[in-house]
Amino acid sequence: SWTVEAKIPVDILGFDRITAYQRWKLSFCRYDRNRNPEACVLSSTSPLSEVDFHRIHEWSDILTF
């Protein structure tokens, strides 16, 4: 298993500040690759149905606070 802690400066998102109770789509992912491309493992905080972190419609909903 793995965990992630992320701090994202709001200015790089184009906001002055984030208000409470905004709903966002978010996913943190990582690939474990080796010499065998068929053995690629995707670990994700979202329940992705395929090994593809670009599946934004499957990212988890989060609520700001």
Q: What is the pLDDT of residues 7-61, one digit of tens each?
A: 888 889 888 888 899 999 999 998 887 788 777 788 898 999 988 889 999 999 9
Q: What is the pLDDT of residue 50?
A: 87
For the question of whether the overall pTM of this predicted structure is more than 0.85, the answer is no
Q: What is the pLDDT of residue 23?
A: 92
Tokens 């670009």: give the residue.
Answer: 54
Q: What is the pLDDT of residue 59?
A: 96
Q: Cα separations (Å) of 52 from 4, 5, 21, 22, 40?
A: 19, 21, 28, 26, 11
